[in-house]
Amino acid sequence: MEWQNKLTQLLGVTYPVIQAPMLGVTSPAMVAAISNAGGLGSLPVGGFSPEKTRQLIQEVKSLTDKPYSVNLFAHDVPDIDSVQAEAMRSYLNTLIDKNGLHAEVPDLESLKFYTYKEQIAILTEENVPIVSFTFGIPDDGSLTKMKQHGIILIGTATCTEEAILLAEKNVDAIVLQGIEAGGHRGSFIPGDVPQVGLMALVPMARKAVNIPLIASGSINSGETVKAAFALGALAVQIGTAFISANESLAIPAYKQALATAKDTDTILTRAFSGRWARGIKNDFIDKVESTGLDIPPYPIQNSLTGTLRAEAQKKDNGQLTNLWSGQAAALSADKLPSADIFNKIISETESL
Amino acid sequence: MEWQNKLTQLLGVTYPVIQAPMLGVTSPAMVAAISNAGGLGSLPVGGFSPEKTRQLIQEVKSLTDKPYSVNLFAHDVPDIDSVQAEAMRSYLNTLIDKNGLHAEVPDLESLKFYTYKEQIAILTEENVPIVSFTFGIPDDGSLTKMKQHGIILIGTATCTEEAILLAEKNVDAIVLQGIEAGGHRGSFIPGDVPQVGLMALVPMARKAVNIPLIASGSINSGETVKAAFALGALAVQIGTAFISANESLAIPAYKQALATAKDTDTILTRAFSGRWARGIKNDFIDKVESTGLDIPPYPIQNSLTGTLRAEAQKKDNGQLTNLWSGQAAALSADKLPSADIFNKIISETESL
């Protein structure tokens, strides 16, 4: 098994295996554990304040001197439709009451949205080596600033058209997120959210763009790593398999749900955040979707549901918070140190 | 490249590569061409009369002495909701008129539905060696009759739960149809249609059942065959790549649509047949789905739209007939003899 290729060389890693940035799951300790093991740890900072962004990056840097990446949400913030948002806010407050949670949905006036634009300066100041992004493409000024600082850029595409748009911006690599993947869809073209499986997406994108491709979506074993490489990916990105890791921020109920999830137990939903994301079906999704209420767009819905989800997590209630998961969660739900999970996948791949 | 395995031995083929049964596309000549090339040709007969079924099987037998399979639709026929069906019938007649087609939607009273139950006797009489089925599982009596006659049975699953149900009936192999696949979903568990990508489906099913697995969905090249085998499939089933073949019944407009289809150009729709199927978006889907009318279940809707589709096909009108397609159609739309397409995929795989 020859692990080294032009992408590992560009990223400066031993193995072309990336730990997916998972907001609410990935800790700086997880990022450092994967980077120290020879992969690429990815720190999610989407929507965080500049201060929190800097603090987390510094924490990663204190734990590893290996390359790591920081993941941005490259979206714009839409105007709030206050009628739509107030209706959702009112419903969520009712849901909180009914479930005896001690929380309150924030007032619309108090909502504060940070974007990647406020984070770029910190990335350069902290000499972050690699930046990945999803939900869109940062503006040209931000891209130029990062490139001028020598930052390696990794975009996210869920269909070939998005891969072509990323290629036009000269990114260094592209994560191809198959429909199998858990968490938020990185989609950014207008219209219906793309739902392309990896078996189609990698070959289709490979024909269209000449940029190193990273396959993502239900990759969690030697077999799946081999399959992704057979399709022409130069690296894989692994998410769900690290949710049960010791360094994960996931609550016990979340880890339990992953361990027993069937391949039909996840769905795409906008209920939690206003953006399409794949998670295990639960009461929250059922309830919000059956209200018939318009779901405000990301990041508005995300902020409206934040206090409820935080309170549910405190109570280890997996029915009222997001349980992002890929379609093959049960195949890799080991409660082990992140590095052990990583090393297991590497050894399995080498043994095939 | 070692092609032989326990499944090729069971099926009696040189290569573990199956041409997918595609109703309206696959001709007896295509089936024979693939079987003669060392693969397994599959003859679709779902919904055909006993007479037509026998005639097609005899045609295949006149063209090859190699193993082939016959594919059944293993569904029951629901009662007709005449209010629902008449509303659709009326709409379809309007659509026919608006488009200047010379057709009429059949009266509900004239609809005649054949099922697999009327085909079993023919399969045994004609000594069909292999029978595959989709949309469900034949009743125990039919399964027993076929097994007693030495027929090898291949079921179709779109999720692990369906694979387990098939395993309980002791089928000899299972086609795992990934969400990437074109045409009708083989799904038969109650509830939402499963939408599992192959990267998740093959490993999940493999863990659950100990039966040879056949991967299907956007497989059309050496890379994708290799990837399917890496996931643990013992064979692949290839459909869309044969739609443009010389022996295909597809109209020119259909072949043209495949050649230029993007990976986001197909959707799952019930508009044509009443069952979920993946096809290239076109006017018919848009129009039927935007009526807000209830779509009658399969095979009722299939029969109601039949004359309209036949007439559209006569006029090479790709906007008013079904253009079933997987998500990676454009990667394999060669207008060549079926055997050339088959041999190209075999050589590509061997060269990797």
Nearest residue, CB atoms, A196 vs list B226, B230, B327: B327
Please state which CATH class domain B6-77+113-246+332-351 belongs to: alpha beta
Strands across the sheet containing A266-269: A183-184, A277-280, A266-269
What ipTM did this prediction achieve? 0.98
Contacts of A226 in chain B (CB under 8 A): 230
Contacts of B263 in chain A (CB under 8 A): 159-160, 194, 196, 200-201, 204
Distance of CA B175 to the CA centre of its chain: 11
Cross-chain Cβ contact A263/B180 below 8 Å: no
Residue B201: its pLDDT value, please? 98
Region A282-302 average pLDDT: 98
As a whole number of angstroms, the distance between CA A334 and CA B293 comes to: 47
Alpha-helix runs per DSSP H in chain B: 6-11, 28-36, 50-63, 82-98, 120-125, 140-148, 160-168, 198-208, 222-230, 252-259, 283-290, 300-314, 338-351
Supply A153's token pair: 């850029």
Residue B181 Cα, gap to closest chain A Cα (Å): 9
Residue A104: its pLDDT value, please? 95
Residue A201 Cα, gap to closest chain B Cα (Å): 7
Residue B1: its pLDDT value, please? 82
Nearest residue, CB atoms, A264 vs list B180, B196, B198: B196
Do the beta carbons of residue A346 and residue A17 sit within 8 Å? yes
- Grade residue A43 by pLDDT with cuts at 50, 70 and 90: very high
Region A198-219 average pLDDT: 98
Minimal CA–CA distance to A344: which of A232, A223, A254? A223
Do the beta carbons of residue A325 and residue A261 sit within 8 Å? yes
Residue B307 Cα, gap to closest chain A Cα (Å): 31
pLDDT reading at A1 higher than 90: no
State the DSSP string of A214-256.
EEESS--SHHHHHHHHHTT-SEEEE-GGGTTSTT----HHHHH
As a whole number of angstroms, the distance between CA B244 and CA B324 comes to: 12
Do the beta carbons of residue B250 and residue B324 sit within 8 Å? no
Minimal CA–CA distance to B205: which of B170, B237, B173, B239? B173
Mean pLDDT score of chain A: 98
What H or E segment, with its residue span, contains residue A68? strand A68-73
Region A118-122 average pLDDT: 98
Place of tokens 């809707």: B301
Kindly state whether A274 is in contact with chain B, defined as any CB-CB distance less than 8 angstroms: no
Do the beta carbons of residue A218 and residue A180 sit within 8 Å? yes
Encode A60-94: b = buried (16+ Cβ within 10 Å), e = exposed. Answer: beebbebbbbbbbbbbeeeebeeebbbebbebbbe
Residues B217-272 have pLDDT tens digits of 999 999 999 999 999 999 999 999 999 999 999 999 999 999 999 999 999 999 99
Place of tokens 């969520």: A92
As a whole number of angstroms, the distance between CA A244 and CA A240 comes to: 8
Q: Give, in order, the Cα–Cα distances in Å from B4 to each of B8, B17, B60, B322.
A: 6, 11, 25, 36
Residue B155 Cα, gap to closest chain A Cα (Å): 18
What H or E segment, with its residue span, contains residue B176? strand B173-177
Supply B336's token pair: 């060549």
Domain A6-77+113-248+331-351 maps to which CATH number in 3.30.1360.120, 3.40.50.2000, 3.90.1720.10, 3.20.20.70?
3.20.20.70
Cβ contacts of B127 within 8 Å, gap of 6 or more = B149
Region A185-190 average pLDDT: 98
Kindly state whether B201 is in contact with chain A, defined as any CB-CB distance less than 8 angstroms: yes
Residue B340: its pLDDT value, please? 98
Q: Which residues of chain B have pLDDT under 70?
A: none
Minimal CA–CA distance to A332: which of A265, A198, A239? A239
- Angle subtended by helix axes A82-98 and A283-290, to nearest 10: 140
Q: Amino acid letter at A18?
A: I
For an interface test with B, give the residue of A263, A332, A348 to mutate (most B CBs within 10 A).
A263
Domain ranges of chain B: 6-77+113-246+332-351
Residue A205: its pLDDT value, please? 98
Minimal CA–CA distance to B38: which of B7, B59, B17, B9? B17
Region A239-261 average pLDDT: 98
Q: Give, in order, the Cα–Cα distances in Å from B89 to each of B97, B100, B184, B295, B319.
A: 12, 17, 22, 10, 19
Cβ contacts of B260 within 8 Å, gap of 6 or more = B330
Q: Give, in order, the Cα–Cα distances in Å from A87 to each of A83, A97, A102, A270.
A: 6, 16, 20, 16
Assessment of whether the complete model's pTM goes beyond 0.90: yes
What H or E segment, with its residue span, contains residue A303? helix A300-314
Kindly state whether A201 is in contact with chain B, defined as any CB-CB distance less than 8 angstroms: yes
Q: Give, in order, the Cα–Cα distances in Å from A186 to each of A25, A158, A269, A272.
A: 17, 6, 14, 15
Nearest residue, CB atoms, B198 vs list A159, A160, A197: A197
Per DSSP, B240 falls in state: G
Q: What residues 292-331 of chain A have any CB closer than 8 A to a CB of chain B? A: 326-328, 330-331
Do the beta carbons of residue B40 and residue B130 sit within 8 Å? yes
Cross-chain Cβ contact A197/B192 below 8 Å: no
